[in-house]
Copies of this chain bind each other. A is one copy, B any other.
Amino acid sequence: MYEEILKASTRIAGRIHTTPVQTSAAADAWAGKQLFFKCENFQKTGSFKARGALNAVLKAKDENPKLKGVVTHSSGNHGQALAWAARQAQLQCTVVVPEGSPLVKCNAIQSYGAELIYCAPNPQARAAAAEKIVSESAFLFVPPYDHHDVIAGQGTIATEFLSQVPDLDAILVPISGGGMTSGIAVAAKNIRPETKVFAVEPEGKDLQASLMAEQRLWKGEPKFLDTIADGIRLQQVGHLTFPLLCKYAESTVFSVSDEEMVSAMKFIWQRMKVVVEVSSSAGLAAAVSPRMKEVMPELKKIGVILCGGNVDIDKLPW
């Protein structure tokens, strides 16, 4: 997997931004630690998803030059990223989005030239809608996270981050399906084994129990969590990402409430002058939580992934 991440770095180089790392004396004071913010909100399409989508699309086109188009379902950021990546590779693109997705994300998907199809806001409906398009066209399905090429693309965040700040003690990663967290964990553990990679989840996901048991303890159908952090609202991580998380990420998981995320989000906007979406603030919320100081007092230099900035500025959660 790590070799795939290195190949992805080469494949997508020049088309994606090397995103800056920002620091904030005020944030350091709040956390009592030295924080390094990896600004993937400044990435192409406004989120880290551009990395995985572009890697998957370019690799697929290399392997099948006759490929006509790609399709996905996504709450927004992966949809935007795939639409952008398809245009980069001169492919058609269809994106299935759940009704109620932020307008700003839907408009952006269409602005990259992709076709938009709405479905009911649950994981089953969006999978069914995407499958229908795959079976009716010859489009390739590129899932949002449970795909090796997508995971490899997201892993390039860590190769880049650790070249910018080589001695991070830990990296805090907001988690939904686990594509970004598993990719970062694989890369970090191969580059610098002593760097710990922690997932940060909205309350109710209960990832830690599954990671500690090394088996999927979620019961029933996949569902969305009750959180305003729409970028990380999947309850269950993927079937490809889960074993990678068990092997490479810490089994300790930080759970943060909506209130903690909104508080961190306001801080990032007001003090750091950076526009992030709610899910992006999960890492800072974890970094300043009492649990961080209890669990890992010895960790000093903490990387925080600001995963995206696609928020409707007319509808802020405060």
A-to-B contact residues, CB < 8 Å = 20, 22, 41-42, 46, 104, 266, 269-276, 309, 313-314, 316, 318
- B318 near A314 (CB under 8 angstroms)? yes
User: Chain B nearest CB: distance from A115 CB in Å?
Assistant: 21
Q: Main secondary structure on chain A at its contact with chain B?
A: mixed
Copies of this protein chain in the complex: 2
* Residue in B closest to A309 when the chains form the complex, CB atoms: B273
Q: Evaluate contact between B41 and A273: CB separation under 8 angstroms.
A: yes
Instruction: Tell whether, in the assembled complex, residue A273 and residue B275 are in contact, meaning their CB atoms are under 8 Å apart.
Output: yes
Distance in angstroms from A61 CB to nearest chain B CB is: 21
- The docked-state distance in angstroms from the alpha carbon of A269 to that of B313 is 8
Min CB distance A58 to B, Å, is 19
Q: A42-B272, A270-B313, A274-B275 are in contact. List 9 more A-B contacts (CB 8 A).
A: A20-B20, A41-B273, A42-B273, A270-B275, A272-B275, A274-B274, A275-B275, A313-B318, A314-B318
- A273 CA / B313 CA spacing, docked (Å): 10
Shortest distance from the beta carbon of A109 to any chain B beta carbon, whole Å? 14
Chain B residues whose CB sits within 8 angstroms of the CB of A273 once the complex forms? 41-42, 46, 274-276, 309
* Residues of chain B contacted by A270 (CB below 8 angstroms): 104, 275, 313
Note all chain B residues with C-beta closer than 8 A to A41. 273
With A and B bound together, what is the CA distance between A250 and B314 in angstroms? 37
CB distance from A271 to the nearest CB of B (A): 8
What's the least CB distance linking A21 to chain B, in Å?
Answer: 10
Task: Show 19 residue pairs from A and B whose CB-CB distance is below 8 angstroms, ordered by the A residue.
Answer: A20-B20, A22-B42, A41-B273, A42-B272, A46-B271, A46-B273, A104-B270, A266-B313, A269-B313, A270-B275, A270-B313, A273-B274, A273-B276, A273-B309, A274-B274, A274-B275, A275-B275, A313-B316, A314-B318
